[in-house]
């Protein structure tokens, strides 16, 4: 079952308040969940007023990371977490199981239909990486996009 939570917090930073927004959800590890993940992310970022170009980049990042988690792991579900802090959007996609390799960008042949996802993630993100899952199994692939707030 998919769920979502929404949290807003305010922190004082150098005399001004910085708003932090976050949301998370889980979806079944099925190909059809990739489109649902994109829809959820775009809806939430739109509610938060995130800049359009960052929304488009986040849509691509979530699509690629969700697809990889569905195709290359033995997970039953895939999780997504979004967090806006200042002008930065943090995107995390977590799976439950290990695939054959650590996620890494690779060069694909001109006639290959897949294999460029992490190169695209790296191209639109300011930073991205991989860390072990919090429950001792699986992994979290994350990306950071800046310019989340209009006018930043």
The mean pLDDT of the chain is 81
- Average pLDDT estimate for 21-48: 96
Which pLDDT belongs to residue 150? 64
| Residue 100 three-state SS | coil
Give me the pLDDT at residue 133, please.
Answer: 85
What pLDDT digit, counting tens, does each position of 102-115 carry?
554 444 444 444 45
Q: Residue 41 above 70 pLDDT? A: yes
What pLDDT digit, counting tens, does each position of 130-139 carry?
998 877 788 9
State the Rg of the chain over Cα.
Answer: 16
Report the alpha-carbon distance of residue 53 to residue 98 in Å, rounded.
32
pLDDT score at 98 = 64
Indicate yes or no: pTM above 0.85.
no
Task: Give the per-residue pLDDT at 89.
Answer: 97
Closest CA to 69 of 4, 125, 130, 127: 130
CA atoms of 152 and 147, how far apart (whole Å) = 5
Rounded Cα distance between 36 and 43, Å, is 11
């Amino acid at each position: 079952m998919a769920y979502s939570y929404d949290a807003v917090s305010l922190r004082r930073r150098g005399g001004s308040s910085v708003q932090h927004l976050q949301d998370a959800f889980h979806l079944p590890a099925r190909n059809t969940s990739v489109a649902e993940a994109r829809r959820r992310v775009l809806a939430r970022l739109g509610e938060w007023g995130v800049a359009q170009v960052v929304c488009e980049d986040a849509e691509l990042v979530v699509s690629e990371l969700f697809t990889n988690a569905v195709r290359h792991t033995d997970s039953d579900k895939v999780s997504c977490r979004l967090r806006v802090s200042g002008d930065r959007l943090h995107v995390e996609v977590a799976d439950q199981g290990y695939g054959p390799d650590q996620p890494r960008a690779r060069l694909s042949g001109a006639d290959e239909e897949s294999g460029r996802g992490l190169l695209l993630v790296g191209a639109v993100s300011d930073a991205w990486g991989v860390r072990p899952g919090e429950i001792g199994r699986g992994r979290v692939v994350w990306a950071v996009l800046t310019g989340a707030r209009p006018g930043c």
